[in-house]
Amino acid sequence: MHASTWAGVKLVFRKEAVSALRFRAAWAAMFMFALTTLACVSLALSGARLAAPLAAALLWVILFFASVAGADRVFAEEDTSGTLLALRVYGGAQAVLLGKMLYTFVLLLALGVFTVPLFLVFLDMTVASPLLLAMACVLGLAGVAAAGTLIAALTVGAAANSGLFAVLLLPVILPVFLPAISLTAAAFGAGEASLAYLGGLVLYDGILAVGASVLFDYLWYEE
């Protein structure tokens, strides 16, 4: 990566982190959404044990919708405050995209660190392979961050923004979602983990990140 682009990525990442510390609403809503959903599921189950594949699917449904509650705000602050034009003038497309993608990834990792242990406690799940669970979560959330950043740029200025983000993200993220659920189920003790799923996750994360990078130029440099 070019040195100036990397410097730009770091600047954009720092700007996002500072904004998030000043305006806590976006990430606070995301964490509270995850907590509320977890509590609802746990209460509804009343202590009943879930089979590993079902628990894995439930965990990823919670992670997906909680991610949506936070990741759709990636460009929204600049859009509502009117500073998107300034960012467009001073920031290169790749620096802005990668900086925001990196920030989203860190935010979603924090969400994972918050949600997964609570999920294990509330639903009384035992983890057969903690390393596999960690890898599935990191790779799955990386895919959501890669796709979510581009989708958030697409929905800037659109009507019905919040619902739209989930609608646009889900079909694109399914190739990440399905292997991540299978790997998580294996980590919970349901069968053997397939290396093909892990390789597929890494590959598709890469495809999403490269695809977003190539296409973002067309959105950023408007004529």
Partner 1 sequence: MLLRAAIVLLTIGVLFAVFCLVPPAEGLGYYVRLAFFHIPVAWVAVLAFLMSAYYGVRYLSKQELLLDRLSAASIRLGFIFVLLATLSGALFSKLTWGAYWNWDPRQTTIFVLLLIYGAYLTLRSALSGADRARRARVCAVYALFSFLTVPFLVFIVPRLYFSLHPQPVLNAAGHIDMEPVMLATLLAALLDATCIYLYFLYRGVKELPAGGKRHE
Name the site residues for partner 1 (rule: CB under 8 A). Answer: 147, 150-151, 154-155, 157-161, 164, 167-168, 170-172, 174-175, 178, 196, 200, 204, 207-208, 211-212, 215, 218-219, 222-223
Q: Is the dihedral of CA 27, 29, 34, 38 positive or negative?
A: positive
CB of 205 to partner 1, least distance (A): 11
Looking up tokens 């964490």 gives 31
**CB of 135 or CB of 150, closer to partner 1:** 150
Quote the CA–CA distance of 217 and 207 in Å, as a whole number.
16
CB of 152 to partner 1, least distance (A): 12
**CB of 3 or CB of 160, closer to partner 1:** 160
CB of 182 to partner 1, least distance (A): 8
**CB of 50 or CB of 164, closer to partner 1:** 164
Q: What's the full length of the chain, in residues?
A: 223
Name the CA radius of gyration of the chain, rounded. Answer: 18
**CB of 119 or CB of 197, closer to partner 1:** 197
DSSP 3-state assignment of 23?
A: coil
CB of 8 to partner 1, least distance (A): 21
Q: Which amino acid is at 194?
A: S
Quote the CA–CA distance of 145 and 72 in Å, as a whole number.
10
CB of 17 to partner 1, least distance (A): 26
**Contact criterion met (CB below 8 Å) for 119 and 59:** yes
**CB of 20 or CB of 172, closer to partner 1:** 172
